[in-house]
Amino acid sequence: MPINVLMPALSPTMEKGNLAKWLKAEGDKIRSGDVIAEIETDKATMEVEAVDEGILAKILVAAGTADVAVNTPIAVIAAEGEDAGAPAPTLAPKPVAPVAAAAPAPVAAAANPVVAPSPAVGAAATGARVFASPLARRVARESGLDLARIAGSGPHGRVILRDVEAASAAGTAVAGVAPVAAAPAAPPAPVAAAAPAAKPVGMSDETIKKLFEPGSFTEIPHDNMRKTIARRLTEAKSTIPHFYLSVDCELDALLALREQLNASAPVGKDGKPAFKLSVNDMIIKALALALVRVPDANATWTDGSMLKHAHADVGVAVSIPGGLITPVIRKAEIKTLSVISAEMKDMAARAKARKLKPEEYQGGTTAVSNLGMFGIKNFSAVINPPHATILAVGAGERRPLVKADGSLGVGMAMSVTLSTDHRAVDGALGAELLAAFKGLIEKPLGLLV
């Protein structure tokens, strides 16, 4: 039987992707595990492997097609001689069988039969006037019975005394309805909940374009990466209560240690040093160790619980053409500076070529965004879910400093700002984390443990 090749979900959040190219042509023989196509997501270019053997009998989605939904059939694999004129049927969710309304439980017949509902009963449902004799009204009121629920047997359905007495004796006002006397007082009508405030909507595309002279701009459609960045940042700022903490860190000791470590790096056969540490590598390690020292801050908020993480997985924002990606250094707290440096260089290069695997840029427990190389002194970063924190790092610069002994001097310093998800990391906890980070930066021998 022909087998559909479906558009794969290359990450838990992927909804669609671009079919970049086919690496096999119709009629090619295929073995399980062969790479048959390349898919572009918002973050990377991934390979699609065949899951069965046979012949690529039919290509259903042409190369270069954009926004192909996940689980859409993109090709058909068939055995030799098999007809693949139509794609194999795809599994669809089974419809849920409608649940029959439960029939009301039968009510035992009253000792004294009650006449079938009359117009008086219908009047109760519609709020119309109930016709009853004055005596029947008084007795019903004294007995706590609702006249609207009693079937009248008098002329034109009028409720008379015997109808009230029969209802009281039978314990029911009308067949199938609980006796009014036994029923608790009706609760007050529920107050309608206030409708949620509508989300603010920005100006429409056409409204914005009208603000500029025709021909004075070039319209460039958004690609998947830019759409995803826009959606995730909007969600982050709309749903995460951001809280900001800033501190200045002295860098002289860290820069001196970095120079010593780089000078001591062994030289390989190619004549190049085995590693060359950057300040950012040391910042990654310092943030990871700070989370170990303040474990309550190494957390993720969910609606049902707080996730406390065993390791510090640090994402690092990397600028790539058209956007941004955050590869993750896993278990950064137990890795040496040279290992962190090597992993960052490798992942940054593959990120710019869009060759990262989803597991290399998804998840993580915190992140670092460093704009110091651009001369930015300080800034506040937007938290990248599911993280509860992100550290924004500014440029190192020479500043006047007050030394520990109270004397004035000049030294290298940088400003950092910690953005926290206030649901998970409140002000005091964030301050404790930032103090631990500052201590590791200013006394950097702790980074070597």
Closest CA to 326 of 312, 309, 313: 313
Q: Which residues contact 169 (CB under 8 A, 6 or more apart)?
A: 110, 111, 112
Active site residue 387: no
Between CA 26 and CA 56 the distance in angstroms is 5
What is the residue whose two structure tokens read 């995730």? 232
Is residue 407 packed enough to be buried (19+ CB in 10 Å), middle (13-18) or exposed (0-12)?
A: exposed
CA–CA gap between residue 78 and residue 53 (Å, rounded): 8
> What's the 3-state SS for the chain?
CCEEEECCCCCCCCCEEEEEEECCCCCCEECCCCEEEEEECCCCEEEEECCCCEEEEEECCCCCEEEEECCCEEEEEECCCCCCCCCCCCCCCCCCCCCCCCCCCCCCCCCCCCCCCCHHHHHHHHCCCCCECHHHHHHHHHHCCCHHHCCCCCHHHCECHHHHHHHHHHCCCECCECCCCCCCCCCCCCCCCCCCCCCCCCCCHHHHHCCCCCCCCCCCCCCHHHHHHHHHHHHHHHHCCEEEEEEEEECHHHHHHHHHHHHCCCECCCCCECCCCCHHHHHHHHHHHHHHHCHHHCEEECCCCEEECCCCCEEECEEECCEEECCEECCHHHCCHHHHHHHHHHHHHHHHCCCCCHHHHCCCCEEEEECHHHCCCCCCCCCCCCCCEEEEECCCEEEEEECCCCCEEEEEEEEEEEEEECCCCCHHHHHHHHHHHHHHHHCHHHHHC
Catalytic amino acids? 422
